Amino acid sequence: MSRDINNKFWDEELETLPREELEKRQLEDLKEIVKFAYENAPYYKRSFDEAGVKPEDIKTLKDIQKFPFINKKTQRDTQGVGSFLGELAAVPEEDVVFISTSSGSTGVPTMSPFTKKDFDEFQDTESRWFWQIGMRPNDRYVHALNFSLYVGGPDVIGAQNLGALCIWGGTLPSERLLFVLKTYQPTVIWTSPSYAWQLGEKALKSGIDPKKDLNIKKIIVAGELGGSIDATRKAIEDIWGAEVYDFYGLSDIFGACAAMCEAKDGLHIAENHILVETIDIHTGEILEPGQVGELVFTTLRKHARPLIRFRTGDIGRIDNTKCSCGRTHGRIHILGRKDDMFIVSAVNVFPSDIEAVIREQDGITGEYLIRIFERDFTNKYAVEIEKNADNPKTDEQVAAEVSAALKARIGVKPARVVVHPDGGLDTRSEHKSKRVIDERNLEYVI
Ligand SMILES: [Zn+2]
């Protein structure tokens, strides 16, 4: 298939469907997938029967609200039960061509199975996002994401199907990756936001100026929140002289759920694949579009393992208004993981809020570590940062400035700010960084 490279849309009809038409298609697919799940996945048969709901109850999109939620625990509890793929799967194993699995960072890894059609549609959606950020067949693309088990690995096929020249980087050591960037002069790279930033710093320290010596024009980031934090995105863009775009995938569904466009105002979600709801994290009450809550996804077209009302654990809001880019699919704004949020003096704090402050401050490197702990049965947080070598201020002055900036932004001061010299924090891991340490109730764990 040859496309006009000047057309900004990968699939113009789909991407600009009037919402009424888009919702009509969603309803058709919703009816089909709920029926398919009920008839083929033992878990849904049981849970719908227990809840007294039937697939025929779906007459409008809102009728999904009658159906029970599932979450990560549902996946874990049903995995391997009755068959290898478990009770949420709706096809026999011979129809499955691929599984990815989650990292298991919050428990037993869960797998996500795909039929051939599921997989092809996943990659077509990925091509759509690549095209959306301006990737064209004459681009050279480095896919610097883990290929082993991780759902982001196969996304490279979406770039190949688009016609770009693809280099399967995986998790190469930094020196080798910089060699690839210098020698082959690729124009687009995808990695995690913390690694994009660290790689830029490493390049500078090894005498390579990413702006002059490399040819990277666009950087895709995912896997952490940084790409949706303006200050972090700007910091990466400044080092590389490139545009940064945030993408969002879920190991439970696929690697191509949502992506930024040139407006960089939220991430367009593939509403032809995913029906989005937002709910109150405590009560489960349905919220209106625009209100902040937990995002709940229903997969509309994934047959190997349909997810009906899956609580993602991500906190955010959806904006269904038409974007300035012309696309009609809604945009999600993600604030963070429900599990990462902590409460200090009755204020909900996301690590991303703290990151935004740290990345905006002058005279510090931007590296940080957050510690959450308990004193007198009250949550407190402390922040560790690094002072730039050429910053003439004392550590006390720097700590006071950061503390005041955090108070201004979040509303609650940190219990302390620890200032390290440049390179003093051990947070520069390859590809994905651990920046939040929760020390609460540690004595009970021990
Ligand atoms: Zn847009």
- Could you report the per-residue pLDDT of 85-97, keeping only the tens digit for each? 999 999 999 999 9
Closest-CA residue to 206 (of 178, 237, 180) = 178
Q: Which two tokens stand for residue 432?
A: 């994905």
* pLDDT of amino acid 443: 45
* pLDDT of amino acid 433: 65
3-state secondary structure of 371: strand
24 CA → ligand 1 middle, Å? 21
* CA 368 – CA 435 distance, rounded (Å): 7
* pLDDT of amino acid 258: 97
316 CA → ligand 1 middle, Å? 17
263 CA → ligand 1 middle, Å? 5
154 CA → ligand 1 middle, Å? 24
- Could you report the per-residue pLDDT of 152-181, keeping only the tens digit for each? 999 999 999 999 999 999 989 999 999 999
* pLDDT of amino acid 106: 59
Contact 88, 43 (CB under 8 A): yes
* CA 121 – CA 127 distance, rounded (Å): 10
Question: Which pLDDT band, with edges at 50, 70 and 90, does 444 fall under?
Answer: very low
* CA 349 – CA 339 distance, rounded (Å): 11
* pLDDT of amino acid 445: 34
Element at 240 (helix H, strand E):
helix 230-240
* CA 218 – CA 6 distance, rounded (Å): 17
- Most confident of the ranges 55-64, 147-156, 348-357, 426-435: 55-64
160 CA → ligand 1 middle, Å? 23
Question: Which residues neighbour 249 within 8 Å (Cβ) at sequence distance 6 or greater?
Answer: 151, 152, 155, 222, 255, 256, 257
Min mean pLDDT across 241-245, 356-360, 434-438 is at: 434-438
Contact 13, 271 (CB under 8 A): no
344 CA → ligand 1 middle, Å? 35
DSSP label at 239?
Answer: H
Half-sphere exposure for 38 (CA within 13 Å, toward CB): 19
353 CA → ligand 1 middle, Å? 24
| Mean pLDDT calculated for residue range 327-335 | 95
- Could you report the per-residue pLDDT of 178-202, keeping only the tens digit for each? 999 999 999 999 999 989 998 999 9
Contact 346, 356 (CB under 8 A): no
CATH class entry, domain 1-338 = alpha beta
331 CA → ligand 1 middle, Å? 8
Q: Which residues are registered as beta bridge partners of 438?
A: 372
| Mean pLDDT calculated for residue range 118-126 | 97
Residue 78 has pLDDT above 70, yes or no: yes
> How far is residue 85 from each of residues 45, 80, 96, 303, measured CA to CA in Å?
16, 5, 9, 13
245 CA → ligand 1 middle, Å? 12
> How far is residue 143 from each of residues 168, 171, 237, 295, 442, measured CA to CA in Å?
5, 9, 18, 28, 39
Mean pLDDT in the chain? 92
4 CA → ligand 1 middle, Å? 20
262 CA → ligand 1 middle, Å? 6
Question: Which residues neighbour 61 within 8 Å (Cβ) at sequence distance 6 or greater?
Answer: 23, 26, 27, 30, 275
59 CA → ligand 1 middle, Å? 30
- Domain map of the chain by residue range? 1-338, 342-445
257 CA → ligand 1 middle, Å? 15
Phi and psi (nearest 5°) for 407? Answer: -60, -40
CATH class entry, domain 342-445 = alpha beta
3-state secondary structure of 52: coil
142 CA → ligand 1 middle, Å? 24
* pLDDT of amino acid 157: 97
325 CA → ligand 1 middle, Å? 4
338 CA → ligand 1 middle, Å? 26
| Mean pLDDT calculated for residue range 63-90 | 94
| Mean pLDDT calculated for residue range 276-293 | 93
270 CA → ligand 1 middle, Å? 12
As a whole-number percent, the residues of the chain with pLDDT over 90 amount to 74
297 CA → ligand 1 middle, Å? 20
